[in-house]
Amino acid sequence: MNPIHIALAVLVAFIWGVNFTFIAWALESFPPLMLTALRFFFTAVPLVLFLKPPKFNRTLFIYAIGTFVMQYAFVFTAMHLGASAGLTALLLQVQIFITVLLAYVILGETVNRMQIIGMLVGVLGLGVIALNLGGDMPLIGFFCILIAAIGWSFGNIASKQVSTQSALKATQEESSLSVVLPTTQKNRASALSALSLVVWGGLIACVILTLSSLIFESTAWQVATFTQASIKSWLSLGFIVYISTLIGFGLWAHLLAQNTASKVTPFALLVPVFGMATSVLLLGEVVTWWKMLAMLLILSGLVLANMKIGLGREATHN
């Protein structure tokens, strides 16, 4: 990854880390499925009217259901049930290891020796959390977050496939026209493609989540829910929609299109660092020795996973 891509990956990690605090504030006024549905309604509208849709196929639906529906419906539910913002941010990073494994199996991307060691060290950190369930990480919340991580992992692979297909189509069109576009134009096209993926994927997610909320949270769908929601919750929803979703996932999809998943996804291990720090500063979460140990192990896994000592089959993408 070049320095700009590394900087963007760190920026996304920061945005997503801080986002857990905003989620906690938004959940003070809205139930979890409704909040998730609102998130993706405002993600899609009105941008869906201006962005060309990606190809509607199974991959797009897997991306929308995995990354948006499964991940956030279960994360929001876990936090609604008592999972703290910092621990949720930390535990959710099991998706990194699942994504790298899926990228190896499905996409044929290389996984080197140090990445394997890094994943094992990171899993030890997640194991520390599992041994300390209770309090600000209830058992049901733990399982909800694991389901969310699995959904995000499949969404990452689908995002990679959709973005790669779009890039290949653009290259073929460019070749047929015998035109060589400047790098800046190619990057702009890639960014728009990534944003389109997030917006249209959000529209699909919004429909599924709204129906789910109407079924499981029917009593919340009344005018009073919206009129009595606090300004803090509305502003938090704004951050979740425009900063975390549109900017965060747009950049993430762009990075996955330009690099292998095994190089991009380890940066998500920085999310719990930012998430834990902001939850301590803004929500008053207590930092215990085992939380620090879990974070240390996960950060060590990030460092090891990014060391360049190759082992394994050739990657099919650069």
Whether 197 shows a pLDDT value over 90: the answer reads: no
Measure CA of the first residue to CA of the last residue in the chain; give whole Å.
10
Residue bearing tokens 């950060």: 299
Question: Which is more confident, 311 or 231?
Answer: 231
Residue 69 contacts residue 251 (beta carbons within 8 Å): no
202 phi and psi angles, rounded to 5 deg: -65, -35
pLDDT for res 21: 94
**CA distance linking residue 274 with residue 290, whole number of Å:** 17
Summarised one tens digit per residue, pLDDT across range 7-21 is 999 999 999 999 999
CB atoms within 10 A of CB 74: 24
pLDDT for res 317: 39
Compute the average pLDDT of residues 49-71.
86
Q: Where are the beta strands (DSSP E) in the chain?
A: none
Question: What is the 3-class SS of 27-77, one letter each residue?
Answer: CCCCCHHHHHHHHHHHHHCCHHHCCCCCCCCHHHHHHHHHHHHHHHHHHHH
**CA distance linking residue 309 with residue 48, whole number of Å:** 43
**CA distance linking residue 201 with residue 40, whole number of Å:** 9
207 — pLDDT class (breaks 50, 70, 90): very high
315 — pLDDT class (breaks 50, 70, 90): very low
Please name every residue paired with 134 in a beta bridge, in sequence order, or none if there are none.
Answer: 137
Whether 188 shows a pLDDT value over 60: the answer reads: no
Q: Is the dihedral of CA 281, 136, 145, 45 positive or negative?
A: negative
pLDDT for res 311: 36
Cα-atom radius of gyration of the chain, to the nearest Å?
A: 19
Residue 83 contacts residue 138 (beta carbons within 8 Å): yes
209 — pLDDT class (breaks 50, 70, 90): very high
Question: Which is more confident, 42 or 187?
Answer: 42
Contacts of 235 (CB under 8 A, 6+ apart): none
Summarised one tens digit per residue, pLDDT across range 221-251 is 999 999 999 999 999 999 999 999 888 878 8
How far are the Cα atoms of 30, 88, 191, 203, 222 from residue 164, in angstroms, in the given order?
A: 37, 30, 12, 21, 42
pTM: 0.80
Question: Which is more confident, 233 or 295?
Answer: 233
Compute the average pLDDT of residues 145-161.
86
Whether 187 shows a pLDDT value over 70: the answer reads: no
Nearest in space to 74 (alpha carbons), one of 88, 86, 94: 88
Residue 109 contacts residue 314 (beta carbons within 8 Å): no
292 — pLDDT class (breaks 50, 70, 90): confident
Question: Which is more confident, 110 or 45?
Answer: 45
How far are the Cα atoms of 20, 80, 100, 220, 269 from residue 112, in angstroms, in the given order?
A: 32, 38, 11, 49, 18
Summarised one tens digit per residue, pLDDT across range 119-134 is 888 888 878 887 887 7
- What does the block give as tokens for 185? 């134009």
Whether 73 shows a pLDDT value over 90: the answer reads: yes
CA angle 304, 268, 291 (to 5 degrees): 80
pLDDT for res 90: 83
